[in-house]
Amino acid sequence: MEITKDLTIPKLFYQKAKHYGAAKVAMREKEFGIWRPITWQDYFDHVKRLSLGLVKLGLKPGDKVAMIGDNRPEGLWVEMAALCAGGVAVWLFQESMMEEVQYIIDHSDTRFFVGEGQEEVDKALSIMGQCPKVEKVLWDDPKGLRHYHQDFLISLKEVEKLGAELDREQPDLFEKLVFQGHGDDVALLFYTSGTTSKPKGALLSHWNMLTMGKHLMSVDPCYDTDDFVSYLPFAWIGEQMMSISCGLQIGFTINFPEEPETAQENIREIGPHVMFAPPRMYEQMTRTVQVKHLDASFSKRMLFNLSTKIGYHVADLKFKKKPVPFYMALLQKIMYLIVQKKLRDHLGLSRIRHAYTGGAAMGPDHFRFFHALGVNLKQIYGQTEIAGISVVHRDGDIKFDTVGKPLPQTEVKITEEGEIISKGPSVFLGYYKNPEATEKTLVDGWLYSGDKGFIDEDGHLVVFDRSKDVMTLSDKRPFSPQYLESRLKFSPYIKDAWVIGHEKPYITAVVCIDYSVVGKWADDKKMNYTSYQELSQIPEVYNLVEAQFRQANRDLPDVARVRKFVNLYKEFDPDDGELTRTHKLRRAFVEDRYQDIVAALYSEAEVIHMDTTITYEDGRTAKIKTDLRIQKVPEEGKK
């Protein structure tokens, strides 16, 4: 399909809806136990009525429509309706803080706020005072909203009714609205999560979104018979990439889970052909497999071990691009039939053709794990500013320490300072109401990413961790704490790890054991414990963790080995500010909070006396007095 500058997302939507009509299912939503189908005709009708309804309420081309809610068909309808009327879609994360919501709504000049249900409407109500530009608040789920009588509240059903009325009055208005757009018009205003400053709003045009989708699909084609499960926030550019850009061009069926909590189970029912998720999701799957494996019966464990061994061997050969000997291929086939086929079935990956991960670095162990299963997992690199993706692995050319090669028509270069810059049709228009930031990021059509990296001999892009996360020991030898942490976290017993060593003589680590897994392990060994704190300090548990360290230390250069560790008395928790909401470690914060531990790790002390306050989930606080033991990891060979 040809993407011209004249084509817009609504025009493409119109074409596809007319093409498929009532004969093909556009989306499904799980409700009351079945996957309720929504055909392209239904999709079109809803979008048409909603779009005209928004026009009736006063939406003008260029007006912003902010949306917040779970993944539901209605969310996508409203977004498409806003685009059809010439509006600009702004998606907000469900778990955004109040101030953030208020900032984005106010900064984006939003006129229409669309919330899924009572929770979102309450959010809107509490910021209405500070956001005078908001005119109407739309809602979908009536649960709990019976006694809300504010004039500016209106349900999507009523909006559809208004739209139907307007359609009767001016039957050709919708077509006129759809066909007035141009590819360079702004389609989405997406706010990038600012870790340091206020969020910045990236303006993406129809052309940006459509070319990105086209190029990704030219690398990894999908078909309109494919299934895709939409369960990650729409406010994440990756989800827009799949549901809007690729979804519209290919016409695959988008499936919405019953509830966010049932997503994993629902994915298994659907068995998607393509999947894009942050590393966290894949890490969770690996952990599930490992934990269940530990509890499996002897014969099952043996077969599993054998199959993983063969799987790893074949995957490593493929990574090195060496031919797989026929007997290995045969063994792999047999193992696939007796173990891996079933394992993939459990994970919902039976039918997967392409699985993508992006948004953060993923440990090589996890990467190998999926390839050993025969899952075609690939890295994606990109940012919101380039419509989500600019670099991806190609089939059969996957290296787990790189992020792959640039998409067609996309150029990626490294500046003299080592910064990754890219150019292509999907590079955004600029930041909304922020010319200084735009000037800094967008120079001569090149997008400056702020990430450091280099291009290796095969033309693959390698992205370093954000530079502040690359550390050096006191003797100037560098090491990557994230790499070590992801290796440690591959062990099912370790939930979180924090590797320390910046400007220190050697590397140490603070470990949060996985309560349920280690707890089960201790139960089996008939050890007594009453709490996480007590369990973490049992000497046998220390030895168990030490074994994980020895495993991780193996085949690491001497410099990168962990010498001492301590088991923390609690898990890291976003509520305590130790992790971000996306479960990334906030290094500066923990370094400040646990100074005593860091100090003790670099002294001769063997025990740390802790006296701290912890915050429970309900906001109560409690004092904790405890002793933490420090254990050394013996050097290999010296034990």
Partner 1 sequence: MAKGFLPCGTYHQDYAHDHAWWQTRFVKGKMIFLAIGLFLIIPHLDSYYVGIVNMIGYTILGALGVDLLIGFTGQITLGHAAFMAVGAYTSALMVLEFPWPKIFIHLGLAYPLSILCGAVLAGLWSVLFGLPSAKVKGFYLILTTMAAQFVTVDFIITQYVARIGGRGQAFSLPPGTIKIGPWIIDSPTKVYYLMIILVLLCIGMVANLLRSKPGRAWMAIRDNDIAAETLGINIIFYKLLSFFVAGFIAGIAGAFWISNLAAISPEHFPWSWSLWLVGVILIGGTGSIQGTIFGSMFMVLVMEALQIGILPLADIYPQLLEKFLFVKESTFGLAICAFLIFEPNGLSYRWWQIKNYFNLWPFSY
> Which residues form the interface with partner 1 (CB under 8 A)?
25, 28, 33-37, 268-271, 292-293, 295-297, 300-301, 303-304, 307, 339, 342-346, 348-351
Whichever of 272 and 358 has its CB closer to partner 1, that residue is: 272
Whichever of 295 and 635 has its CB closer to partner 1, that residue is: 295
Whichever of 80 and 267 has its CB closer to partner 1, that residue is: 267
535-539 long-range contacts (CB < 8 A, ≥24 apart) are: 536/567, 536/568, 536/569, 537/567, 537/569, 537/626, 537/627, 537/628, 537/629, 539/629
- Centre a 10 Å sphere on the Cβ of residue 395 and count the other Cβ atoms it contains: 11
Q: Which amino acid is at 497?
A: A
Q: Return d(Cα 157, Cα 270) in angstroms, integer.
A: 29
Q: Return d(Cα 273, Cα 352) in angstroms, integer.
A: 4
Return the SS3 of 505: coil
Whichever of 98 and 334 has its CB closer to partner 1, that residue is: 334
Q: Which residues pair with 471 in a beta bridge?
A: 479
Whichever of 271 and 364 has its CB closer to partner 1, that residue is: 271
The answer to whether residues 319 and 241 touch, using CB atoms and an 8 Å cutoff, is no
SS in 3 state form for 92-112? Answer: ECCCCCHHHHHHHHHHCCEEE
Angle 328-329-335 from CA coordinates, rounded to 5°: 85
Q: Which amino acid is at 527?
A: M
- Centre a 10 Å sphere on the Cβ of residue 334 and count the other Cβ atoms it contains: 12
Buried b (16+ CB within 10 A) or exposed e, 137-167: bbbbbeeebeeeeeeebbebeebbebbeebb
Distance from CA of residue 438 to its chain's centroid?
A: 25
CB of 343 to partner 1, least distance (A): 6
Closest C-alpha among 237, 269, 267 to residue 355: 267
Angle 366-370-376 from CA coordinates, rounded to 5°: 130
CB of 455 to partner 1, least distance (A): 38
CB of 226 to partner 1, least distance (A): 12
Whichever of 304 and 369 has its CB closer to partner 1, that residue is: 304
Q: Which amino acid is at 227?
A: D
Q: Return d(Cα 524, Cα 508) in angstroms, integer.
A: 30
CB of 25 to partner 1, least distance (A): 7
Distance from CA of residue 429 to its chain's centroid?
A: 24
Q: Which two tokens stand for residue 264?
A: 């994993």
Q: DSSP E strands: which ranges in 404-556?
A: 405-406, 411-414, 419-423, 430-431, 442-443, 446-455, 461-463, 471-472, 478-479, 494-500, 507-513
Closest C-alpha among 234, 241, 233 to residue 216: 241
Q: Which two tokens stand for residue 91?
A: 């998606």
CB of 292 to partner 1, least distance (A): 4
Give backbone dihedrals phi and psi of 224, rounded to 5 degrees, phi first.
-75, 0
CB of 349 to partner 1, least distance (A): 8
Whichever of 270 and 403 has its CB closer to partner 1, that residue is: 270
CB of 519 to partner 1, least distance (A): 16
Whichever of 4 and 297 has its CB closer to partner 1, that residue is: 297
CB of 307 to partner 1, least distance (A): 8
Q: Return d(Cα 579, Cα 586) in angstroms, integer.
A: 5
CB of 592 to partner 1, least distance (A): 42
The answer to whether residues 478 and 464 touch, using CB atoms and an 8 Å cutoff, is no
Return the SS3 of 454: strand
CB of 350 to partner 1, least distance (A): 4
Whichever of 342 and 609 has its CB closer to partner 1, that residue is: 342
CB of 49 to partner 1, least distance (A): 23
CB of 271 to partner 1, least distance (A): 3
Angle 272-140-119 from CA coordinates, rounded to 5°: 95
Return the SS3 of 306: helix
The answer to whether residues 493 and 549 touch, using CB atoms and an 8 Å cutoff, is no
Q: Return d(Cα 185, Cα 62) in angstroms, integer.
A: 8
Q: For residue 98, give every residue at least 6 positions away whose Cβ sits within 8 Å of its Cβ, in sequence order, or none.
A: 123, 126, 127
Whichever of 33 and 396 has its CB closer to partner 1, that residue is: 33
